[in-house]
Copies of this chain bind each other. A is one copy, B any other.
Amino acid sequence: MPSAANQHAATMLIRKLESIATLTQAERQAIERLPLRINHLNARNDIMREGDKPTHCCLILEGWACRYKLLSQGKRQIFSFHIPGDIPDLQSLLLPTTDHSLATVTKATVAFILHESLRALAADFPSIGALLWRDTLIDAAIFREWMIGIGRRSAFERIGHLFCEMYLKLQAVGLAADFRCPMPITQTDLADALGLTSVHVNRVLKEMRGRTLITLRSGTLVIERWNELLQAAEFNPTYLRLEKQAA
């Protein structure tokens, strides 16, 4: 008899997978039987560090996480932000040694799933395996989009782009609506994700506010003019492969 918390975690995963393809009854049941270990974590806690050899994957149930790598002289590059429903370290199933770190951004609840359990699930239900693989491919597509930003877009476009991306990802799992979403990251986090300094991020945010494109206060982002921001950032959401789109 699974606990309420476990049931909730399974539902989360099912919802995420069903946003792409419909699952059979048997597949849903198999996911619900997945053994989970649920954990509550503080903000800014490493879940996994570069060099680790994890034995389970981590499903985010509440809060945000990010993947990053530290460099010499305190430099940091953040690769991705993760929200409930994400499994940020799915790759550890096939690449035993991790080449980067995973940490919570906010207080968070996560469920750990043994590699063996996930592997068995994918073996028993190849279409679930394909969905998991697909998810890592979308992950890579987002990396590519971030590369474009860091490499070829202005600071303004980069920040606007990230806001649009996170809003749509949150909306897709029901955590955002009406152009309003949580954005519980510091300007330093933003800078380290986008290849900027926090000082410069601050100045660009000031400009965005000045043009009344956004409001960003106490961890909440409001996109005041979606279409204009989209255009200013040259944002095109197809790479996210989401079913539902914003208005």
Interface residues of A (CB under 8 A from B): 69, 71-72, 75-77, 79, 91, 94-95, 97, 99-100, 123, 126, 129-130, 133-134, 136-141, 143-144, 146-148, 150-153, 194-195, 234, 238-239, 241
A-B contact pairs, 19 of them (CB 8 A): A69-B148, A71-B152, A71-B153, A71-B234, A72-B234, A91-B137, A94-B133, A94-B137, A95-B134, A95-B241, A123-B126, A126-B126, A129-B129, A133-B133, A136-B140, A140-B140, A143-B143, A146-B147, A147-B150
B136 x A99 contact (CB < 8 A): no
Query: In the bound complex, how far is the Cα of B150 from the Cα of A69, in angstroms?
Result: 14
Report whether B140 and A194 are in contact in the complex, using a CB–CB cutoff of 8 Å: no
Task: Judge whether A140 and B138 touch: CB under 8 Å.
Answer: no
Min CB distance, A210 to chain B, in Å?
A: 24
**B143 and A77 within 8 A (CB):** no
Name the residue on B nearest A239 (C-beta).
B99
Cα A76 to Cα B153 with chains together (Å):
10
Contact A194 B143, CB 8 Å, known A134-B95, A238-B97, A238-B99 = no
When all copies of this chain in the complex are counted, the total is: 2
B100 touches A144 (CB 8 A): yes
- Residues from chain B with a CB closer than 8 A to the CB of A133 are 94, 133, 136
A150–B152 Cα distance when bound, in Å, is: 10
Instruction: List B contacts of A71 (CB < 8 A).
Output: 148, 152-153, 234
Beta-carbon contact of A144 and B143 below 8 Å: yes
Bound CA–CA A139/B140 (angstroms):
8
Given the complex, which residues of B lie within 8 Å of A99, measured CB to CB?
141, 144, 238-239
Smallest CB–CB gap between A6 and chain B, Å?
27
For residue A56, give the distance in angstroms from its CB to the closest CB of chain B: 17
Whole-angstrom CA separation of A111 from B238 in the bound complex: 28
Query: A94–B138 Cα gap in the complex (Å)?
Result: 10
Question: A67 to nearest B CB, angstroms?
Answer: 8
CA–CA, A239 to B195, complex, Å?
A: 21
Determine the distance from Cα of A140 to Cα of B99 in the docked complex, in whole angstroms: 11
Report which of B100, B152, B238 forms a contact with A77, defined as CB distance below 8 A: B152
In contact, A137 and B138 (Cβ under 8 angstroms): no
- Please indicate the chain B residues that have their CB under 8 angstroms from the CB of A77 in the complex: 147-148, 151-152
